[in-house]
Amino acid sequence: MNKDIEELENLLISKTWREDDLPPERHWLVRLKSSLWQEKSALFGVIILLFVLFLALLAPIIAPFDPDAQLYARAMKPPLTVFEGRILVMGTDHLGRDLFSRIIYGSQVSIIVGFFSVFISGGIGLVVGLTAGYFGGKVDYFLMRVADFVLSFPFILMALAMISILGSSLLLIILAISTRLWVIYARVVRGNVLSLRETEFVLAARAMGGSPFRIIFQHLMPNVLPPVIIIASLYLGRMIIIEAGLSFLGLGVPPPTPTWGGLLAEGRSYLYVAWWIVIFPGLAITVTVLGTNLVGDWLRDVLDPRLRTR
């Protein structure tokens, strides 16, 4: 009997989101696969992100020099200079360190901070939004007041306080960013759950004795994943900019670990005599964020039903 009820319940839920029971043009995963090759800008963004990820993963193999090796004889050499039989593709900084190698290794920090911050903040916001939206009442009130408090606290002050107490590290930067940005996910997910919890398939699951845990994570969560994916893709570039900004201010990953924001901070004093120390890290940030924005816009156009025209 219980097995029959469970099969009937799953069949009712599948009518709203499962690929097997929906026409291909309606399921969001199918729409993503079919539209990527049609959107040239989105494909370009995906290529950029894959290229940056490739550099980050294979940095020890691709980088021609040790990123921390100092040699004053080659200090502030311009791009494409030949030094001791080797080409300095992007030149060197004021300490003679190869800028190309440092940018490649700096991509590791940006990728780690960007993806893990999105994953952690998105996971926290998803759980909080689902809980607040489904249970409502005092649970919703308490969780949303916590969210309001987090939003009211300036991010820079929070980052300064955490770094002053716990010290600067890569893990701390990820936690500081995630602690603030989970609120964005939570509010969007809560709004979607409030509109879904009184629909027929949720009422049917509840009438059949489904537990709140089962209804939330098996039935509601798949229906709120598309907006979460959109937010994550749009905020990935913002995470990279935030990390670069913190590193530029001296609040990021401490030296000698190369970061794009740290390279900008080191090169600003030599802007007029060695422009390449600032230009190339800035271009790396710009191109990477451009790729994330192109992918984010594509996901929003495909997954947001209000923007869908076909």
User: With 90 as the cut, is the pLDDT of residue 151 above it?
Assistant: no
Instruction: Tell me if residue 86 falls in helix, strand or coil.
Output: strand
Whole-model pTM: value is 0.80
User: With 80 as the cut, is the pLDDT of residue 15 above it?
Assistant: no
Looking at per-residue confidence, does 109 or 234 come out higher? 109
pLDDT confidence bin for 2, thresholds 50/70/90: very low
Looking at per-residue confidence, does 239 or 308 come out higher? 239
pLDDT confidence bin for 304, thresholds 50/70/90: low
Q: Look at residue 107 in the predicted model and tell me its pLDDT.
A: 92
Q: How far apart are CA 104 and CA 51, in angstroms?
A: 11
Looking at per-residue confidence, does 256 or 278 come out higher? 278
Of 290, 279, 180, nearest to 237 by C-alpha is: 290
Q: Which residues contact 244 (CB under 8 A, 6 or more apart)?
A: 110, 252, 259, 260, 261, 264, 285
Q: How far apart are CA 264 and CA 241, in angstroms?
A: 12
To the nearest whole number, what is the mean pLDDT of the chain?
81
Give percent of the chain with pLDDT exceeding 90.
Answer: 22
pLDDT per position as a tens digit, 82-138: 888 888 889 898 888 999 999 999 999 988 988 999 999 999 999 999 999 888 888
Q: Look at residue 31 in the predicted model and tell me its pLDDT.
A: 63
Looking at per-residue confidence, does 299 or 52 come out higher? 52
